[in-house]
Amino acid sequence: MGDVISLLLLLLCLSGLILLLVRRPRSRRSPLPPGPTPLPLLGNVLQLRTGGMVNSLRQLRKKYGPVFTVHLGPRRVVVLWGYDAVKEALEDLADNFSGRGTLAALGEALQGFGLLFSDGERWWPLRQFSLTTLQDLDSGKQSIEEQVQAEARCLVAEFRQTEGSPFDPTFFLSRSACNVICSIVFGRRFADTDESFLNMLAKLNQVFVRLSSTWGQLYEMFSWVMRFLPGAHKHIIQDLEDINSFILERIKAKQASLDHANPQDFIDCFLVQMEKDILNPATEFHLRNLAVTVCNLFFIGTETVSSTLRYGLLILLKFPEVADKVSQEIDRVIGRSRLPAVADRSRMPYTNAVLHEIQRYSDVVPLNLPHTLTRDTRFRGYTIPQGTEVFPVLSSVLQDPSHFRHPESFDPERFLDQQGGFQTNSAFMPFSAGKRACVGQQLASMELFIFLTALVQNFTLESLVPAHDIRLTPQDCGFASIPPCFQLRAVLRRGGTDASKEPPRDQSLGVGEAGGSPANHGPSRGPTPGM
Ligand code: HEM
Ligand SMILES: *[C@@H]1O[C@H](CO)[C@@H](O)[C@H](O)[C@H]1NC(C)=O
Ligand SMILES: *[C@@H]1O[C@H](CO)[C@@H](O)[C@H](O)[C@H]1NC(C)=O
């Protein structure tokens, strides 16, 4: 931390000097939305200090309204706050807002290749390919659903092996999420003891945590000088290189044994496409894009899912009465003798509501990924030039008080109608919206449903501390929102194959009253759903 402060001091001096040297051009009226006056090179660092980027932006929104401009160091960013502004941009003006901005800390390593951080002519074919391939694979020999179920079986086995003693679920959850991506891209999962796999997983996790730390937030503003200092970005670059070589090695092996008529997974499909396009010099289907795209899938598809799952478990510990209602619904609809399947979800409105509320509440990608404008665009009376960076802040949508009453409370009932049926909400946008919306949305929803229901089906989850002492505030909140660390006990529920005959569960085992429960989870209202 001392490093960061001295760096800031240095920067302050520097910018003071520069202030003396160059007068800011005040004369040219900016066409951009209003915002705090930036210091040269330092931008709005003085306004952005307190308690994480999202909170700083929330303060600025109070002063400047839902569309405003901030300067992250020398980066000029238009911030969109709240459902209306974000929807207007990403959905109504989808093409204009479909460009991708950069994460400074990743930019150097990825250099504009791959699906996640590319644009225009490179991005479009990669996105189309990825969407179709995910669909094709799901209707293939072993559907993606079956692969997720297989992974859920392993996760349950892992939890069972703890035999009711306390443990931190982080590692198990990210390993499951990561193995799902492995199944999709490599056509196989990795054994729990595979060194190179575990190594990659640890690195993915490190990159994510570093990006979300105070350091990561500073780097987004000051990469122009921090890149010359020793520090975490060197580790990020190294970690990404290691992840990349893990991937490349396996791509090479798959290339050698490719059966063109029978592509089995994402990489096979891409390799086949590469061969088809081999005579086209402008093709985007080449090794570089393949490796980086696969890396992208790991990067965005592992920690997002596993953080949401971790938040989900923590929330279930905090609100045992919610966990209880979920497990009753599981017993009613699925029973205990088979794994949950996607088709069950529509018959489980309460569980579905809980999952939506978990995703809304955990808000794992609070700022969204940065966008840019592909064209000069008129937006709310401003003319925003092509190339301007835009943050359509997801946190501000998921917590928009005009769409979610008391957004700071965890309340699954908000996703239920009077009859106890599931009701969606247009501001439920954890995967963003428009042309850049998450490619893995269906996959992620499937994972969350199958993993969480499989765990609740098999175990009673017990907290080590009284429920009202459980804090839900994220441990770190920058690029990603990282849930606080916690331990739990997973106590095996009594077996029984015919679940509908199970007696109601005895809930006297200890987590105590949900002291701070903000919502009323009293006796369920209306007729019992799902029967
Ligand atoms: C709970 C889990 C997940 C959340 C909350 C999430 C959220 C997001 C968000 C907010 C974006 C940026 C959208 C934008 O720029 O407007 C994104 C993009 C993306 N996500 Fe996810 N994601 C999740 C899981 C996954 C998974 C499992 C995959 C794997 C297939 C995936 C693949 C992608 C890809 C490829 C993009 C880039 C799309 C593009 O730039 O065109 N995501 N995701
Ligand atoms: C745990 O769940 C699996 C399927 O998810 C099931 O086969 C198994 O019987 C369950 N175990 C218990 C003790 O209920
Ligand atoms: C969006 O971009 C198109 C060009 O594709 C442009 O003609 C249009 O004016 C833009 N929309 C707005 C509202 O500026």
Higher pLDDT, 405 or 20: 405
**Closest ligand 1 atom to the C-alpha of 436?**
41
* Ligand 3 centroid – CA 390 distance (Å): 16
* Ligand 3 centroid – CA 384 distance (Å): 11
> Which phi and psi (to 5°) does residue 349 adopt?
-60, -35
Outline where 277-401 has alpha helix (H): 287-318, 320-333, 349-362, 394-398
Q: What is the model's pLDDT at position 57?
A: 93
Task: Give 214's pLDDT tier (boundaries 50, 70, 90).
Answer: confident
DSSP E strands in 181-295: the ranges are none
Q: What is the model's pLDDT at position 520?
A: 39
Extract the tokens encoding 457: 């089906």
Q: What is the model's pLDDT at position 213?
A: 81
* Ligand 2 centroid – CA 337 distance (Å): 6
CA distance 456 to 215: 37
Report which protein residue has its CA nearest ligand 3's atom 13. 378
* Ligand 3 centroid – CA 25 distance (Å): 29
Q: What is the model's pLDDT at position 499?
A: 45
Mean pLDDT, range 91-106, rounded to an integer: 92
* Ligand 2 centroid – CA 458 distance (Å): 6
Which positions ≥6 away from 9 have C-beta within 8 Å? none
Mean pLDDT, range 233-260, rounded to an integer: 91
Report which protein residue has its CA nearest ligand 1's atom 17. 438
Task: Give 236's pLDDT tier (boundaries 50, 70, 90).
Answer: confident
Q: Is the pLDDT of residue 3 over 70?
A: no
Average pLDDT, the chain: 87
pLDDT tens profile 364-417: 999 999 999 999 999 999 999 999 999 999 999 999 999 999 999 999 999 999
3-state secondary structure 196-209: HHHHHHHHHHHHHH
Report which protein residue has its CA nearest ligand 1's atom 7. 431
Verify whether ligand 1 is closer than 6 Å to residue 355 (CB atom): no
Report which protein residue has its CA nearest ligand 2's atom 13. 495
**Closest ligand 2 atom to the C-alpha of 338?**
4
* Ligand 3 centroid – CA 370 distance (Å): 20
Extract the tokens encoding 473: 């505030």
Q: What is the model's pLDDT at position 14?
A: 62
Q: Is the pLDDT of residue 115 over 50?
A: yes
CA distance 460 to 53: 37
Verify whether ligand 3 is closer than 6 Å to residue 380 (CB atom): no
Q: Is the pLDDT of residue 62 over 60?
A: yes
Chain-centre distance for alpha carbon 153: 23
Q: Is the pLDDT of residue 299 over 50?
A: yes
Q: Is the pTM of this model over 0.85?
A: yes
- The answer to whether the CB of 348 falls within 8 A of the CB of 329 is yes
**Closest ligand 1 atom to the C-alpha of 90?**
16
Q: Is the pLDDT of residue 504 over 50?
A: no
Task: Give 526's pLDDT tier (boundaries 50, 70, 90).
Answer: very low
